[in-house]
Amino acid sequence: MLNHTLLHPEITAILARAGHHSKVLIADGNYPASNTLGPNAQLVSLNLSPGVVSCTQVLAALIAALPIEAANTMGIPPDDPYAQQGDPPIWTEYRQMFSAAKSPIVLQPIPKWDFYDAVASRDHVLTIQTADQRLWANLLLTIGVRAPQ
């Protein structure tokens, strides 16, 4: 029996095999998940209907289940109309979630095309496709190390 909130058997199995520096993408509903997988990555689709499941729901489960050492958002290109609006609201939610978990994680944007390259790396082990409709909600997590007890 698990003590954390992550119950999905396939996601749990993939994460159990992952190690330090492995990357997990929480993809929003607009992300081209099936054609951006790294060579070692698996895709788990949780996009049931628009908005269900959300990126924040997935992040909550992952924060409870594994050590996270870095979190990267997809940077907004300066020529994108959204760039003039500041950080997307979802980024504030992510920051609040890490803070509530007493995590020192600081969101680091990666330029959009570099983000796609980071996802396509050999370290990428899992993409969790959500149905989140919020813009710029993609979040690339790097797995850390388990602290000695």
What integer pLDDT is reported at residue 40 of this predicted model?
96
As given in the structure block, the two tokens for residue 6 are: 């992550």
List, for residues 27-64, the tens digit of each pLDDT value.
999 999 999 999 999 999 999 999 899 999 999 999 99
Q: Mean pLDDT over residues 75-79, rounded?
A: 93
List, for residues 83-128, the tens digit of each pLDDT value.
889 899 999 999 999 999 999 999 999 999 999 999 999 999 999 9
What integer pLDDT is reported at residue 124 of this predicted model?
97
Mapping DSSP to helix (H, G, I), strand (E, B) and coil, where does residue 119 land?
A: helix
Q: Compute the distance between CA of residue 7 and CA of residue 65 in angstroms, rounded to an integer.
A: 10
Distance, C-alpha 97 to centroid of its chain: 13
What integer pLDDT is reported at residue 148 of this predicted model?
82
Contact assessment for residue 119 and residue 5, using Cβ atoms and an 8 Å cutoff: no
Go through the domains of the chain in sequence order and give each one's CATH number.
9-143 (3.40.1650.10)
Q: Compute the distance between CA of residue 9 and CA of residue 16 in angstroms, rounded to an integer.
A: 10
